[in-house]
Chains A and B, each alone.
Chain A
């Protein structure tokens, strides 16, 4: 396992270029790393950029929310981009790619349909790596305050005086 000490920045273009260099048609979710301002989220310090991209896709396939853009998934798995965690992730993603190849795809990222990726994930579902990623996402994704408004959840309410005068009983459709 090679551990690189220098941070590596990855842009959407580079990512596509890397994938092309690897000789595969790189399929990404719509809006992947949308916008230049998302570049901060794509810096990897230890993981291979492609590993990170696969991990993000895996995260989305585990907890797919079409309303939630990739940047939140990137934040949710960012913690694996460390020297301590990287080896396990590289190995885990390599196994995932191997499973994809077993089904005739070039790599996990080359699988076009979610249902085919889910089939692959089902094969590795019992592995500690899958369970770790899934378990980590429960807080990594859903405990991001920035994600809450997408689901309508309003979070903290004390500072606004609670909902006594702000619609605790405002339901109208019953």
Chain B
């Protein structure tokens, strides 16, 4: 049920992007009676539209507008036009996500304080802490109906998990289970997981939480939320008072419109959000909106990542069942005796044959490579999610030499590993291989990071305006009615998959916004 708002209606909150951050924020505001126009560049796809086919799903749902890359990360060489694997659709990347839903560990809110001075890293403490976030995490876990919280059972372990668990236990790991997943382990508001595999292609059963078929329709049902799909925001505009007053977007036919706004919330994921701020530069804000600190686009983080695949002498059939329901948490602690600060999670992961061919060892050919694929049926796999260091030089900038379909400069994404990242990845590769060796792997593969699925930090939260882009509410330090509502707010990345935290922050921001609006301070 759309609630059509006029373009000239300057009382609405405009939310840009409808993923984990924007989709949740839009619904939460609508539930509180706030009028919201959500502008989403992508189209609307629901479970009946999803396909159990890796490349077909990729072609339909991914963000494929041009981007460029630089830096020493291997993605810049192997996938130079595709720095990230994220979604352009109503619901954003929650369509593709696997559902792993973890809270930060308390010390991870205070990385600078905990890790001390790490040369070359632009570490900073979040202006919020675990205690403050606990109630918002409670709400997020309820909303996502996360397993192993609120009395929900864990998911059953699939074949890939059983190999992973046996190896982990043989190695002496203790915190091993089928994860905290935003996937129903029993029928409820969503139905129970049918173990189809293909969580990354959109869950056709609707067992996994996705904003596309939960928060978005719930918000629309209130009559307070209008989602305009295929509405690609080109820039945010401001008045002489320096406050933002609306956004200019291109509709499906490429026609431009300006939607007026009382408040603008940016949630386009960590490349598009800073790109929008930079592309909105004016004579009043020559370096882009909210960029007096010069931090817009900087400190790009993507989690350490990397995978370990292993071949056994007997079948595993890892693709059967939930894609990522399995975790080893023992290495997520901060323990500098391992040669690095911060920690990492190991999580089960499987790719289908088509994606395995593309990602196992990009660019490789010949028998070393194909003899691995020959054993596809006997493979098990896991993914490494570790805290990477924020670095000022890892950043999103505008590439004025390359324009998108609307003539706007595209994002260039520059990333190079910090020595801490390399040390941690090497450790994780070793431990991952040891897990599989412990149950008789005949061969293991330390697989390099894929195009980024976790994109963070490019509009970071800071206590002081000089250190970052937004304050503890996601409100930009420079412009009081401009907010950031996605993963780009992250001050540091922690070892955990980010979405539960993005959702918790969005619920908290909605609460704050509604309060400030009714107090007329916005």
Interface positions of A (Cβ within 8 A of B): 61-65, 67, 114, 118, 134, 138-139, 141-143, 148, 151-158, 161-164, 166-171, 173-174
| Minimal beta-carbon separation of B158 from chain A (angstroms) | 5
| Minimal beta-carbon separation of B352 from chain A (angstroms) | 6
A148 touches B159 (CB 8 A): no
- Known contacts A63-B365, A139-B55, A152 near B162 by CB under 8 Å: no
B157 touches A169 (CB 8 A): yes
Please tell me if B197 contacts chain A, counting CB pairs below 8 Å: yes
Partner of B52, one of A61, A65, A158, A167: A158
Please tell me if B282 contacts chain A, counting CB pairs below 8 Å: no
Q: List 20 A-B contacts (CB under 8 A).
A: A134-B363, A142-B356, A152-B315, A153-B376, A155-B53, A156-B51, A158-B204, A162-B194, A163-B195, A163-B196, A164-B193, A167-B320, A168-B159, A168-B320, A169-B156, A169-B159, A170-B317, A171-B159, A171-B162, A174-B439
**A129 to B100 CA separation, bound complex (whole angstroms):** 41
Comparing B33-41, B366-374, B406-414, the segment that makes contact with chain A is B366-374
Interface size on B, residues (CB 8 A): 44
Partner of A142, one of B158, B316, B353: B353
**A138 to B363 CA separation, bound complex (whole angstroms):** 9
| Minimal beta-carbon separation of A57 from chain B (angstroms) | 14
**A117 to B439 CA separation, bound complex (whole angstroms):** 37
Question: With a CB–CB cut-off of 8 A, which chain B residues contact A118?
Answer: 366
Pick the most buried of A157, A167, A168: most chain B CB atoms within 10 A of its CB: A168
- Known contacts A64-B370, A168-B159, A158 near B196 by CB under 8 Å: yes
B166 touches A174 (CB 8 A): yes
B159 (CB) vs chain A CBs: closest residue:
A171
Question: With a CB–CB cut-off of 8 A, which chain B residues contact A141?
Answer: 357
B192 (CB) vs chain A CBs: closest residue:
A164
Q: Interface readout for B139-170 with A: 1 if CB under 8 Å, 0 if not?
A: 00000000000000000111100110010000
A-side interface mostly: loop
B373 touches A151 (CB 8 A): yes
Please tell me if B377 contacts chain A, counting CB pairs below 8 Å: yes
| Minimal beta-carbon separation of B362 from chain A (angstroms) | 9
Question: With a CB–CB cut-off of 8 A, which chain A residues contact B53?
Answer: 155-156
A143 touches B55 (CB 8 A): yes
**A24 to B366 CA separation, bound complex (whole angstroms):** 26
**A53 to B249 CA separation, bound complex (whole angstroms):** 52
B196 touches A157 (CB 8 A): yes
Question: With a CB–CB cut-off of 8 A, which chain A residues contact B339?
Answer: none
| Minimal beta-carbon separation of A134 from chain B (angstroms) | 6
Question: With a CB–CB cut-off of 8 A, which chain B residues contact A143?
Answer: 54-55, 354
Partner of B365, one of A134, A156, A168: A134
| Minimal beta-carbon separation of B146 from chain A (angstroms) | 20
Question: With a CB–CB cut-off of 8 A, which chain A residues contact B374?
Answer: 65, 67, 151
| Minimal beta-carbon separation of A80 from chain B (angstroms) | 17
Q: Interface readout for B313-330 with A: 1 if CB under 8 Å, 0 if not?
A: 011110111000000000
B163 touches A171 (CB 8 A): yes
A152 touches B55 (CB 8 A): no
A63 (CB) vs chain B CBs: closest residue:
B370
A141 (CB) vs chain B CBs: closest residue:
B357
**A139 to B374 CA separation, bound complex (whole angstroms):** 16
**A166 to B159 CA separation, bound complex (whole angstroms):** 12
**A161 to B425 CA separation, bound complex (whole angstroms):** 38
**A50 to B391 CA separation, bound complex (whole angstroms):** 54
Q: A118-B366, A151-B353, A168-B195 are in contact. List 15 more A-B contacts (CB 8 A).
A: A65-B370, A138-B357, A138-B358, A142-B358, A151-B374, A151-B376, A153-B352, A156-B51, A156-B52, A157-B320, A163-B196, A168-B158, A168-B159, A169-B156, A170-B317
- Known contacts A163-B195, A164-B194, A169-B321, A152 near B157 by CB under 8 Å: no
**A155 to B352 CA separation, bound complex (whole angstroms):** 8
| Minimal beta-carbon separation of B296 from chain A (angstroms) | 35
**A67 to B376 CA separation, bound complex (whole angstroms):** 13
**A114 to B370 CA separation, bound complex (whole angstroms):** 14
Please tell me if B200 contacts chain A, counting CB pairs below 8 Å: no
Please tell me if B285 contacts chain A, counting CB pairs below 8 Å: no
- Known contacts A139-B354, A163-B195, A153 near B158 by CB under 8 Å: no
Kindly identify, within residues 177 to 199 of chain B, every residue whose CB is under 8 Å from any CB belonging to chain A. 193-198
| Minimal beta-carbon separation of B266 from chain A (angstroms) | 35
Partner of A162, one of B205, B316, B317, B373: B205
Pick the most buried of B53, B204, B363, B374: most chain A CB atoms within 10 A of its CB: B374
Closest 9 CB pairs of A and B: A152-B377, A162-B194, A162-B196, A168-B321, A142-B357, A156-B52, A168-B195, A153-B353, A163-B320
**A161 to B193 CA separation, bound complex (whole angstroms):** 10
Question: With a CB–CB cut-off of 8 A, which chain A residues contact B366?
Answer: 61-62, 64, 118
Question: With a CB–CB cut-off of 8 A, which chain B residues contact A156?
Answer: 51-53
**A63 to B439 CA separation, bound complex (whole angstroms):** 29
| Minimal beta-carbon separation of A68 from chain B (angstroms) | 9
**A156 to B373 CA separation, bound complex (whole angstroms):** 19
B56 (CB) vs chain A CBs: closest residue:
A143
A148 (CB) vs chain B CBs: closest residue:
B353
Partner of A153, one of B163, B194, B358, B377: B377
